[in-house]
């Protein structure tokens, strides 16, 4: 006695969801560990005054989030692939908590958009200072991406005196050869103007997680039904 079409659909959707979730978890966990253990950034975590900085907090969140995602995936994949009801129940509880956290974080980020924007700008400034101190090529690529995406140039915005000018985009017009927007100010402004979109992304992600929970509940219901039918069959036979 096997699952019906709806049950099989939910099973394979959960497997696909967990594969994507696992990849994201490995990325977050790997990037967090690299930033924590890299010789170029390890010293920051050994300075007590910087333990509450945006950079240290962001790295800690990356490691913790990646680890939690991998733990959740282990229950989800085991439960879906082996049709284990207990594992699926644990998975549904954990994903429900993550979905609620996503929605709450989105609302809080929107409500405190000024403070969050300043924290992101502080995180950028920490990366910028690291690049100037050790010239890490990976951080340089990251800064180049940020500068080109936001069309800004370092912390000063003045190419003539900007020490990380190699990471800055090409100026648009004569005046931008003299002065360009500085990145901390642009980051804070952009987050404030896009706060509603950020909240929408968090809430949308929460909705996707809730969809996974619904699929899990449907699969659990189908599995219980199958187990009951199997039990009834062997009870009648023997």
Query: How many domains does the structure of the chain reveal?
Result: 1
Residues of the domain holding 102: 5-237
Quote the DSSP letter at residue 179: -
H helices of the chain, in order, are: 5-37, 54-82, 85-111, 113-134, 137-150, 183-193, 195-237
CA distance 211 to 231: 30
pLDDT at 2: 62
pLDDT in tens, 97-149: 988 988 888 888 888 888 888 888 888 888 888 888 877 787 888 888 889 88
Confidence band of 90 (pLDDT split at 50, 70, 90):
very high
Cα distances (angstroms) measured from residue 78 to each of 11, 64, 104, 108, 161 = 11, 21, 29, 34, 56
pLDDT in tens, 34-66: 878 877 666 666 655 555 566 677 788 888 888
Burial class (CB in 10 A: 0-12, 13-18, 19+), 137: exposed
Confidence band of 1 (pLDDT split at 50, 70, 90):
very low
């Amino acid at each position: 006695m096997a699952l019906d079409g709806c049950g099989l659909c939910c099973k394979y959707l959960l497997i696909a969801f967990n594969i994507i979730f696992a990849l994201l978890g490995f990325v977050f966990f790997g990037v967090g560990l690299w930033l924590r253990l890299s010789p170029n950034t390890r010293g920051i975590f050994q300075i007590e005054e910087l333990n509450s900085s945006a950079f240290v907090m962001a790295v800690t969140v990356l490691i913790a989030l990646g680890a939690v995602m991998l733990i959740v995936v282990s229950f989800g994949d085991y439960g879906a692939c082996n049709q284990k009801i207990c594992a699926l129940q644990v998975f549904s509880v954990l994903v429900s908590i993550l979905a609620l956290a996503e929605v709450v974080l989105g609302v809080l980020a929107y409500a405190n958009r000024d403070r969050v924007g300043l924290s992101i700008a502080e995180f950028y400034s920490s990366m910028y200072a690291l690049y100037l101190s050790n010239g890490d090529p990976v951080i340089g690529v990251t800064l180049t991406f940020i500068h080109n995406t936001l069309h800004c140039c370092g912390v000063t915005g003045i190419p003539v005196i900007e020490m990380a000018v190699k990471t800055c985009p090409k100026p648009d017009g004569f005046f931008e050869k003299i002065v360009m927007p500085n990145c901390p100010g642009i980051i804070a402004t952009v987050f404030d103007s896009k706060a509603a979109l950020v909240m929408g992304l968090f809430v949308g992600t929460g909705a996707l997680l809730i969809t996974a929970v619904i699929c899990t509940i449907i699969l659990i219901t189908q599995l219980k039904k199958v187990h009951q039918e199997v039990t009834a069959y062997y009870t009648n036979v023997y």
